[in-house]
Amino acid sequence: MRKLLLYILLGILSLYLIAKFIPGIVFVGPVKIFLLAGTLLGILNYLVKPILLFFLFPFNLLTFGLIGLVINIGFMFLVLCYFFASNFQVSGLWPLILATILTSFIYTLFLYLTKTLKHE
């Protein structure tokens, strides 16, 4: 349960940083919609991504892990351009790819830090 909460908080944090620092992605709307979008992103990364990586394991080996980036781009597209298209304005593919890279970096950094702090 703590790990799910951590994923949700990281989803909210990454969406905040994306909307703040990546040109081409703008959030328009109430804060509760923003929190809902971050929650959805966190749940997708926590529940759906491991299942997809399991079934796409051969492709993951062939692409040296780049299939994970493709999955993250798909999640970002679903959240920003499909479910919350009226609240997030994305102006092209490159801001979406930059948002995905930033989100992946945030998740990797914080999950590594929590594992490191847990083992000390």
Determine contact, residues 38/8, Cβ cutoff 8 Å.
Answer: yes
pLDDT at 98: 94
CA 18 to CA 70: how far, in whole Å?
A: 18
Tokens for 10, please give them. Answer: 């990281």
pLDDT at 1: 83
pLDDT at 119: 62
Predicted confidence (pLDDT) at residue 65 exceeds the cutoff of 80: yes
Q: What is the mean pLDDT of residues 45-50?
A: 95
Mean of all residue pLDDT scores within the chain: 92
Based on its alpha-carbon atoms, the radius of gyration of the chain, rounded to whole angstroms, reads 14
pLDDT at 14: 94
Q: What is the mean pLDDT of residues 57-80?
A: 93
Predicted confidence (pLDDT) at residue 12 exceeds the cutoff of 80: yes
Q: Taking the CA atoms of 68, 74, 79 and 81 in sequence, report the sign of the dihedral they define.
A: positive
Query: What confidence category does residue 41 fall into, taking pLDDT thresholds of 50, 70 and 90?
Result: very high
Q: What is the residue extent of each domain of the chain? A: 2-119
90-105 pLDDT, tens digit each: 999 999 999 999 999 9
